[in-house]
Structures are given as structure tokens and as C-alpha cells.
Amino acid sequence: MNTENKETELKKSLNFIESIIEEDLKNNKNNGEVYTRFPPEPNGYLHIGHAKSICLNFGLAQSYNGKTNLRFDDTNPEKEDVEYVESIKEDVNWLGFQWEGEPRFTSDYFDQLFEWAVKLINTGYAYVDDQSPEEISSQKGTPTQPGVESPYRNRSIEENMNLFIRMKNGEFKNGEKVLRAKIDMTSPNMHMRDPIIYRILHKEHHRTGDKWCIYPMYDFAHGQSDYIESITHSVCTLEFEIHRPLYDWLLNHLYTDGTIRPRQIEFARLNLSYTIMSKRKLLELVEENLVSGWDDPRMPTISGLRRRGYTPASIRKFAERIGVAKRDNVIDVALLEHSLRDDLNKTAPRVMAVLNPLKIVITNYPEGKEEFVSIENNPEDESMGTREMPFAREIYIEQDDFMEDAPKKFFRLAPEKEVRLKAAYIIKCEEVIKDTEGNIIELHCTYDSESKSGSGTEASKRKVKGTLHWVSAKHAVNAEVRLYDRLFNDEDPAGHKEQDFKEFINPDSLQVLSGCKLEPSLRNANPESRYQFQRLGYFCVDRRDSKQENLVFNRTVSLKDSWSKKNK
């Protein structure tokens, strides 16, 4: 391959944002620096969509030896809270990223933003409007019809300055006046029709207290904050594409030569099937107690995914797999689950757990005898070693691994039938014990004492159709197991005009099992540690509710995708 071909070959594997950055680097734009930021508004917990943006912004900086700021976009004191600030920091760190220096806050820039507003007034590019927000919006026109100029548009610079200072000094009530950029009421872009850039809001701010009663609007704060921080590439979601002319217009009027000028680049936000991603709707679920909180393991929040048992690596891998698109699309949530299984398959130790126990007494096994069987921790990774599991006369198996009137193809336990107990012996069901109502309460079996797995005897190599997981009754650890499933049973729960998204909540999204029996090695399992319960799925120790004397496990994900079959 010649060099030119090699170069095009390399280019093909870049996403469109990387191509832009490489072009900039080639031209030594921004002194060869790459500086990105992640700018959440602290008005809710981060979700998987934000994770996509985090991986993208921090990932770009990592690829190009750059830096990333964490900036709280805290211009709306009505909805914001320190609880959210703390959770956001924790989530970004948990995902595996570290921002440059201290976290930034847009509110730290309120003085500078105010000065810039003054500059716009002084140069004739901003004016105070006395009309109500309703009047202003009624004059905005439509995309095909020009707007109407405000009667206050041509106030003198002196009058505007005077009024703006008085706005700042708290002389007016909420909504009585606003500051607008003076751009063009006939622009085909509605955002350029003299947008409001400052509003009056008598409300304490969680950081600036009562210092301000005027607050900058998002569009006035965002680009300028990028500029203050010398951000080179300001990556945001597609809905801001239409704001870009305003972003650039403001910079044109405030930019000083020789400084870094940020460039806004838009990509398609992540939409996931079976998932709600609006912070407002997620808040509704929390406030109406339809979930146990922002970190309920069914929530698509980062803290929910974490509690569910997701690994940071699986989320980063997912973000990488889906890539960055320029057009809106919907990603199948099965792909996220697939990334998780992929990761856990390699990293999670296999253990035995019985969720719905059925007792077995092995009648020919000596009473009081105990022995150990050896079992691999993960056949995918020998370096994870083996462990010893106790075996004794009484064990538990899963209730649905036994059937009294079994059909031919049932390869588990049935009267007169044999199965192998994983890593242990072959047993045969001899007798079914029932209570007075006819419910099966235990099974009496016999074992083939020569058939111990790995013992090398003829009987140990004997083939039987089924292999079951089991736990020694005497040694078992009790646990509560929470079986989580998708929160919604509709592919697009928010996409129905006539029906509320909450009507699509999956009634089976949580099933709590108590009295589950786990192998004894799990007695001291640490919060958040993840396991494969053999034949059942991946599970993790709940980081909130699990106690050593009262273990709680969450089902992270089943072994296979059962949803795709359900719907086909």
C-alpha cells in the first residue's frame, strides 16, 4: 500500500469529529491543542445518554493528548441542586474519567458574562425590553413569517445601560424587563430574532446566594463559558445546531484576537429502545415512587446502571461500538446488554446459587459426612483459578429442575432419572416426598459414589443428559435476590401521543425472592461485586441494601437476550 492509500485508509476509521480535529491539528489551529468539556445542568442525575457524551468528550481529549473540563451549567437556580452536583461528579469518576483541575461552574462566570452584556449594550447590540415574555414571543413570527420589532428596540445606549444596571440592582420584578440581543427580526433562523439573553429572577442560587437577581440565558452563557475556558471543540447534541449561528454571532462580538475561539460541533444524541431519557420524566418516576430512587437498578441513570451491576468498561465499550452519528437514530437496548454480557462473561466468577430451592436428601450418603469438590472460577479465564465447594447429604436444587411428570425432552431431574450435580456426583431420584396438600417438599435420591467429577473413574466419565447447579443445605448462605427486568415493555414508551409513558411500565420489572440459597464462598461478598450464577444470569451485591447478615443480590442481566425472541 502506498502512503496516500494508507492515509485514506486511516481516515476512514475516524469519526467525523475526529476528522475535524485532525484537520485542525494539521493546520496548527488552537496551537495544536484539543480541549473539550462536559457541561451538564445540575438538575437531575446523569443517564446513559450523558454517558455517551462523557465518553465522547473525555475520549477525544484522551486520543489527542488534550484536556476535558467538567462544567456545571448552573444558570437556572429554580431547578438546580447540590445533590445533583455531587452525583454527577461521582458518576463521571465512576465511568473512569478525570476532569482537568477543579470542576467549573457557569455561575463562576456571572461577573464576566455581565460585563459582556454591558459591552453589547455599549456597542448597540443589546437592548432592554419592557414587554412581557408572552408579548415578546407573540412577536417572534414563524419560520416563514418575519417577526415584529419591539417598540423598545431603538432605545438609546444610555437608557439601556441605565435600565440594565437597575435590573441588576433588583429594582424590577420577575418578568418586568429582559435584555435582548439586537440581531435581526427577519432572520430565517428564529433564534436570531433578538433572543433574550438576560432575565430577572429573584431567587437564591445554590452557589452565588442572593448576589444576583438577573441570570443569563443558556445561549448567552454556554458559548461564552466555552470561550472563557479556552475550549477548542465544543461538542453538543443536534438540537443545538440551530443555535450555532447565535453561538458564533455572540463570539464575533466578544472575541479578542489571539485567543482560542471555540467551535461548536453537533452529533446525534443517543436514543435507546425501551428507555426513557428525559430528565423530567425520570424525575416523575422518582417523585411518584414508581421506582425506589434515581439509582433504582431499573433506571437508565448511571447510578442506576451501576447499582444494577453494569461495569464502567461495558458502558465505555458500548459508547465506542455505537460510534458518533450525524443523524438521529434509535439504538437497540439489547446492544447495551450485549456489551455487559461480553464483559461479565470474561470477568465475573461463576458461582452456584439456588433461587427457588428444593431440598434433596441423598439417602445413601453417610450422615455427618462432608467433602469438598473442586470447581473452576471461570472457564473463560484459567488465571481466575478454582475453589473448593462443600458437598454433603442434603443439598438444594432449583424447583424447576425437577418435574414429576416430565416430558421426554426434559433432561433435568425426574422420578427414576439421573442427572449430574455440577462438579460433583451423579444422583438418581428415588422418591418424591409431599405434604398433606400434595405439594412436593423434598426428594429422596441416591448417588453413585464412584461418579465424582474429575476422579478419573469410569463412572466419573459416565454421560448423563443433564447437569444441575446445587448448593449444600448445611453450608448454604441465605440471601434475598431481586430479579430486575426492563422497566418498560414498549419499545418507545414516550412515543405515544395518546398515552402517558407510565402506562408502559413493565409490571414484571421487579420480582423479589427471599430464602435463596448461595454457595458459602459468597458469605463475605463485597458490595458491587459481580458474579455469574451458573445457568441463571449475572448478579451483583446491592451496594445500598446488602448487609453481611442480610445479603441482597440484584440480577444484572440474564444469560441470554430473552426479549428479542419474545417480540419476534
Answer for which of 21, 36, 52, 315 binds ligand ATP (CB under 6 A) is 52
Sign for the CA dihedral angle at 267, 273, 278, 283 comes to negative
Burial degree of 347 (CB within 10 A; 0-12, 13-18, 19+): middle
Helices (H), 153-193: 157-168
How many residues of this chain bind ligand ATP (CB under 6 A)? 14
Give the integer Cα–Cα distance in Å for 82 and 85: 5
Query: Is 41 marked active-site?
Result: yes
Answer for which of 30, 34, 35, 53 binds ligand ATP (CB under 6 A) is 53
In the set 71, 263, 279, 517, the catalytic residue is: 279
Choose one: 39-47, 282-290, 301-309, 544-552; the region binding ligand ATP (CB under 6 A): 39-47
387 binding ligand ATP? (CB under 6 A) = no
Answer for which of 15, 18, 32, 41 binds ligand ATP (CB under 6 A) is 41
Residue 235's identity, in one-letter code, is V
Give the integer Cα–Cα distance in Å for 409 and 395: 25
DSSP codes joined into one string, 429-458: EEEEEE-TTS-EEEEEEEE-TT--TTS-ST
What letters, b where the CB count within 10 A reaches 16 and e where it falls short, cover 230-251?
A: bbbbbbbeeebeebbebbbbbb
CB 45 → ligand ATP: shortest distance, Å?
A: 10
CA 335-339-342 angle, to 5 degrees, is 130
Choose one: 44-52, 220-228, 375-383, 399-407; the region binding ligand ATP (CB under 6 A): 44-52
Choose one: 49-57, 225-233, 311-319, 372-380; the region binding ligand ATP (CB under 6 A): 49-57
| Residue nearest to ligand ATP according to CB distances in the complex | 49
CB 371 → ligand ATP: shortest distance, Å?
A: 54
CA dist list (Å): 134 to 126, 175, 187: 19, 10, 20
Choose one: 33-41, 92-100, 360-368, 491-499; the region binding ligand ATP (CB under 6 A): 33-41
In the set 79, 89, 269, 428, the catalytic residue is: 269
Give whichever of 302 and 375 is closer to ligand ATP, judged by the CB atom: 302
Give whichever of 79 and 253 is closer to ligand ATP, judged by the CB atom: 79
Dihedrals φ, ψ of 330, to 5°? -120, 130
Q: Which residue has the cell 435584555?
A: 179
For 335, residues 6+ apart whose C-beta sits below 8 A from its C-beta are 318, 321, 322
In the set 18, 41, 376, 491, the catalytic residue is: 41
CB 52 → ligand ATP: shortest distance, Å?
A: 4
- Cell numbers at residue 46, please? 446523569
| Long-range CB contacts (within 8 A, 24+) of 292-297 | 294/44, 294/45, 294/87, 295/45, 295/544, 297/482, 297/484, 297/542, 297/554
71 binding ligand ATP? (CB under 6 A) = no
Residue 236's identity, in one-letter code, is C
Query: Is 279 marked active-site?
Result: yes
358 binding ligand ATP? (CB under 6 A) = no
Helix/strand/coil (H/E/C) assignment for every residue in 264-330: EEEECCCCECCCCCCHHHHHHHHHCCCCCCCCCCCCCEHHHHHHHCCCHHHHHHHHHHHCCCCCCCC
Give whichever of 222 and 452 is closer to ligand ATP, judged by the CB atom: 222
Answer for which of 33, 40, 177, 309 binds ligand ATP (CB under 6 A) is 40
Give whichever of 42 and 537 is closer to ligand ATP, judged by the CB atom: 42
Closest CA to 394 of 426, 358, 430: 358
69 binding ligand ATP? (CB under 6 A) = no
Choose one: 36-44, 321-329, 393-401, 402-410; the region binding ligand ATP (CB under 6 A): 36-44
Give whichever of 277 and 384 is closer to ligand ATP, judged by the CB atom: 277
350 binding ligand ATP? (CB under 6 A) = no
Choose one: 15-23, 50-58, 342-350, 435-443; the region binding ligand ATP (CB under 6 A): 50-58
50 binding ligand ATP? (CB under 6 A) = yes
Give the integer Cα–Cα distance in Å for 236 and 229: 16
The C-alpha R_g of the chain, in whole angstroms, comes to 31
Give whichever of 55 and 192 is closer to ligand ATP, judged by the CB atom: 55
61 binding ligand ATP? (CB under 6 A) = no
CB 327 → ligand ATP: shortest distance, Å?
A: 13
CB 492 → ligand ATP: shortest distance, Å?
A: 14
Answer for which of 148, 185, 201, 277 binds ligand ATP (CB under 6 A) is 277
CB 255 → ligand ATP: shortest distance, Å?
A: 22
Residues 121-180 that bind ligand ATP (CB under 6 A): none
Choose one: 25-33, 34-42, 131-139, 386-394; the region binding ligand ATP (CB under 6 A): 34-42
Q: Which residues lie across from 112 on neighbouring strands?
A: none
Q: How many residues does the chain have?
A: 568
Residues 525-544 that bind ligand ATP (CB under 6 A): none
281 binding ligand ATP? (CB under 6 A) = no
Residues 206-245 that bind ligand ATP (CB under 6 A): 236-237
Give whichever of 267 and 470 is closer to ligand ATP, judged by the CB atom: 267
118 CB-side CA count, 13 A: 11
> Which residues are the active-site residues?
41, 269, 279
Residues that bind ligand ATP (CB under 6 A): 39-41, 43, 49-50, 52-53, 236-237, 269-270, 277, 279
